[in-house]
């Protein structure tokens, strides 16, 4: 039996975010000319300039995509504030210190050493019950939420700096904060992609971002607090 987990609009926003992030990351790296900061390799900036025809066109494409990305989420937040945004924020901000800490410890040991190691340490292999999001997902969601806001604001400052902002100090700080925040969130994306699409037992979570549903036994095992709530 399948249980509904995601609405169509949330599935759309998930992939909208993913596509925008990929495009913005690729074009953003192409704008970095300093070889000491270029993590994609020395030839990446030249490649992106060649693809878009000029540095000005590359910058314009990056800015337009940034406005589409941030504008899409602003519109989503306004239209679906009560139905999706507020419940999402409440869910990811809700923590149970002991239960969540034990989940992290057990999950970490299990992923590295397996259930036998947990038993040898005298730990019950069963993970503490989780809600709609487990604590690992919350750890990624919270910095991504605030990081996204910071990236959008600093990106806006840089985009309008030539016309509206005369203080070069503000712009320089915006560039630094923008770059650092993008790299931090991108590092978290590696773990998110692995846990959602590659880690053993997590395939239902990945497919749910296409179908909107998960098997009932998966929901009960991985998100029991949420499962009990919707069943009641």
Q: 171: which residues sit within 8 A by CB, 6+ positions away? A: 157, 158, 161, 165
Q: Report how far residue 186's alpha carbon sits from residue 192's, in angstroms, rounded to the nearest whole number.
A: 10
Whether the pTM exceeds 0.75: the reply is yes
Q: Report how far residue 70's alpha carbon sits from residue 19's, in angstroms, rounded to the nearest whole number.
A: 13
pLDDT score of 40: 67
pLDDT in tens for each of the 232 residues of the chain?
A: 899 999 999 999 999 999 999 999 999 998 887 776 767 676 888 899 899 999 899 999 999 999 999 999 999 999 999 999 999 999 999 988 998 999 999 888 888 888 888 888 888 888 899 999 999 899 999 999 999 999 999 999 999 988 877 778 899 999 999 999 999 998 888 888 877 767 667 788 889 999 999 999 999 988 999 999 988 8
Q: What is the DSSP string of 41-97?
A: -TTHHHHHHHHHSSHHHHHHHHHHHHHHHHHHHHHHHHHTIIIIIHHHHHHHH---H
Q: Report how far residue 107's alpha carbon sits from residue 89's, in angstroms, rounded to the nearest whole number.
A: 24
The enclosing H or E element of 224 equals helix 224-231
9 in helix, strand or coil? helix
How many other CB atoms are there within 10 angstroms of residue 11's CB atom? 16
How many other CB atoms are there within 10 angstroms of residue 118's CB atom? 18
Q: Report how far residue 92's alpha carbon sits from residue 133's, in angstroms, rounded to the nearest whole number.
A: 7
pLDDT score of 200: 64
């Amino acid at each position: 039996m399948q249980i509904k987990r995601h609405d169509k609009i949330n599935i759309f926003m998930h992939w909208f975010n993913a596509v925008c992030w990929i495009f913005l990351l690729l074009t953003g790296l192409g704008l970095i000319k300093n070889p000491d900061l270029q993590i994609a390799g020395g030839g990446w900036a030249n490649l992106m300039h060649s693809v878009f025809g000029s540095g000005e066109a590359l910058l314009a494409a990056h800015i337009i995509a940034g406005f589409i990305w941030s504008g899409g989420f602003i519109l989503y937040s306004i239209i679906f504030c009560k139905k999706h945004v507020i419940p999402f924020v409440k869910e990811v901000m809700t923590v149970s210190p002991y239960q969540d800490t034990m989940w992290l410890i057990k999950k970490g040991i299990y992923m590295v050493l397996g259930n036998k190691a947990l038993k040898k340490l005298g730990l019950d292999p069963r993970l503490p019950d989780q809600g709609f999001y487990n604590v690992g997902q919350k750890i990624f969601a919270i910095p991504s939420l605030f990081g996204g806001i910071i990236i959008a604001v600093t990106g806006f400052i840089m985009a309008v700096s030539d016309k509206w902002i005369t203080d070069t100090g503000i712009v320089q700080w915006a560039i630094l904060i923008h770059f650092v925040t993008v790299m931090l969130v991108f590092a978290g994306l590696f773990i998110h992609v692995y846990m959602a699409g590659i880690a053993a037992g997590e395939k239902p979570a990945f497919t749910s971002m296409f179908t909107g549903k998960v098997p009932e036994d998966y929901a009960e095992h991985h998100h029991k607090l949420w499962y009990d709530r919707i069943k009641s």
